[in-house]
Structure 1
């Protein structure tokens, strides 16, 4: 299965609630990105409509509980903000790092929605040591062709690399180990390089509401050709997984589909 979308650049509790946090420090993500408002903070874009395929500078602010524009944010994984954008048919994945200006304006230069459709923008932030994930729908008008999706897809190919997902039986509400084997010409890659301080990053989106999980990996050897995650899927349903890894210095993104029936 070839990847849809493209790489542009580069989180975790154990409950069953739709938490505003999309990530944390423990290794198992909670649901996030379902609201523009979390812990009193609001995601306020300057615009939400874009011409498909045309780059523009996108600006937004984070408004604090007292109504002022927040200007101070902590770094997480080397960045003060991580922006994930995906079309609502779970395609056209992007991972961006907006810049923060002194007045609290976040800016994404040459921001582009490649095709018509409704997209969800997820913003991961760290504020006073607390992780927060906010979400907002943005739009690119025009005729929409919805991509077909398989029930499950454990294999993906991009560039010269083949990535296979293996796991124990995946059950809702239980922590599952997900292992991604990365090969080139049939053999495990000789080296996985660090990307933003880790050997891989995994974003999972639930079909239907795009509830968001962002998980960082367990410790593995960089020369094993494998990257492992412990993830807890809170409910049955279909999930699309977007893996970011850096085999032999090449940043790749692959997508995988899992279905949880219980």
Structure 2
């Protein structure tokens, strides 16, 4: 019995010792990773600071990768198709055109377009400019691709009314807020629906002082950002929001409409 108890005691002590050594190594691994990746110290500097060899620092960094303590994310620049971009620019008489490579999924395509649009937008904007925006998933991916900037006096203006249905994150008011936050600016929205069924209702809305003020400011925008909407069933924001019926879509397509900008065919 005594020998059995002694064996159990030493086994337990051995396991606890291994656990403590494992925790100590993990803590050391995290500390080395913090110094190397967050504080940008060299491996030599870390070895001197912690009193360990440079080879130990290197091994701990390698273990940190293998055990998931450190994860590496590569942000690849969007690949642009220069030849096709130039062809479209010349054919349509545009000042500039940018074509990016697609992706395996629709979401990946939107991410690529959003990154390229964000890059172009930031190159065009200057302090105290007015930026007019519409709404939609393309603009959502654009603003998601913009990091907080240090512009001054940027004013973001909604160019059209709101959908009021569907995903609020892709609607004009929310996008205006997000762009203003990322561009260190202010924003104005149009408190009205994008489309109404009656001309009288439209005319009455246009007479409202608050709406007139926003529209007047929008007319002064130096940069306007809008997507191009589709009439396809699975992609049309207007269809999903209930502004267009299948009959409306059929009528528009029979008259040659292939898409819409600012909800206008």
Structure number, greater radius of gyration: 2
Which is richer in helix?
2
Whether TM-score is above 0.5 comes out as no
Structure with greater proportional strand content: 1
TM range (shorter): under 0.3
With the length of structure 1 as denominator, give the TM-score of the two structures.
Answer: 0.21
Select the structure with the greater relative contact order (CA < 8 A; seq sep ≥ 6): 1
